[in-house]
Structure 1
Amino acid sequence: MDMTTVGDTGLLDTLQHEVAVFARRAEQTRLGGVGQVRNSMDRAAYLLLNRLDNEGPMGVKALAASMGIDSSTVTRQVAPLVDSGLVKRTSHPEDGRAVVLQLSPRGLSRLEEVRSSRRQLMAELTDDWAPEEREQFCTLLTRFNSALSARMSVQGVPSPEQPPTA
């Protein structure tokens, strides 16, 4: 069903084009930040570390469910993070047979470096924006991402990482 009207066709064309340009530029730069930290952590690692920091230690299945991806993907993405010492595998406190993933002190330090670098990039990109414009952009981008996630969920497609709640 076509939900557009003649009046918003041009606006919707502009919106879809700008989203496509944003996606391409975000992928090209990975919105990695500034300085030495720029592009030094891929999106999957950042999202996994961020989730563990926000929600605490958890098993692979719980981590996969919270991120809307399958367990095999999490297992594959976590392996290099464990190898590099950013994530620790520990025994579940109640069931010693189960494995829990936990952000290591080194992982937290690295995540903070990347967050700081990305925060600096966001500050530079929006330097000439009023605080209200930054807030409005965050609100609208969050709303847009939520709508995409809801649509993907209805279609049975795993949704991407949701932003942390403030």
Structure 2
Amino acid sequence: MTDLTTVGDSGLLDTLQHEVAVFARRAEQTRLGGVGQVRNSMDRAAYLLLNRLDKEGPMGVKALAASMGIDSSTVTRQVAPLVDTGLVKRTSHPEDGRAVVLQLSPRGAARLEEVRSSRRQLMAELTRDWAPEEREAFCTLLTRFNGALSARMALPGVPGSETPPAS
């Protein structure tokens, strides 16, 4: 496998890593929360958890953690305020009463759609001068980039991964 840092496009890779760092900082500063009153009204962890429950349906903590690539204790900690505020319902598993199933509540679904709508407005505003093909290309490349990051994080022993190294 070729080491991309020596291929001759190190200037391009320097620019890429810098732009990714700037993007991460700005995304965190603004939370890319949307526009209007909904702006910055839902943190990243809550949005991702609610979105996953909406897309995949009710599931247990372990399944939710696995689908998001994070630790079960992290999901438990992040979902607690969502349950407290009525955005997520915690129920007993139908086949194993000891197990907990998390489900998006009607209130959570409405709140998630409100935030999604606001964020769609922001994305439209930020890319207003882009051609449709540019939006599509950016989305395709960003999805591919995020997929590569997720795959790398799944490797045992990768710093920042919540998966313990293989012994």
**TM-score computed with the length of structure 2 as normaliser:** 0.91
Partner of 2:129: 128
Residue 164 of structure 1 is matched in structure 2 by none
Q: Which moved more, 1:105-114 or 1:5-14?
A: 5-14
- Structure 1 residues 6, 57: closer, same or farther in 2, change over 3 A? closer
Q: Secondary structure at the match of 1:31?
A: coil
Letter in 2 for 1:138: C
Q: Which runs of 5+ in 2 are unaligned?
A: none
Match of 1:30 in 2: 31
Structure 1: which 5+ residue stretches go unaligned?
Answer: 160-166
Q: 2:112 — aligned with what?
A: 111
Name the amino acid aligned to 2:153. M
The within-5 A match list for 1:27-106 is 27-106=28-107
* One-letter amino acid of the counterpart of residue 34, structure 2: G
Deviation of 1:39 after TM superposition, in Å, equals 0.3
Q: Which moved more, 1:21-30 or 1:87-96?
A: 87-96
Q: TM-score, normalised by structure 1?
A: 0.91
Letter in 2 for 1:3: L
Aligned-pair distance for 1:6? 5.4
C-alpha separation in 2, matches of 1:142 and 1:56: 22
Post-superposition CA distance 1:26-55 (Å, at most 9, x none): 000000000000000000000000000000
Alpha-carbon distance in 2 for matches of 1:25, 1:64: 26
Structure 2 distance, partners of 1:128, 1:151, is 33
> Higher relative CO (CA 8 A, sep ≥ 6), structure 1 or 2?
1
2:155 alignment partner in structure 1 = 154
Return the offset for 1:141: 0.4
Return the letter of the residue paired with 2:17.
Q
The root-mean-square deviation of aligned C-alpha atoms, in Å, is 1.4
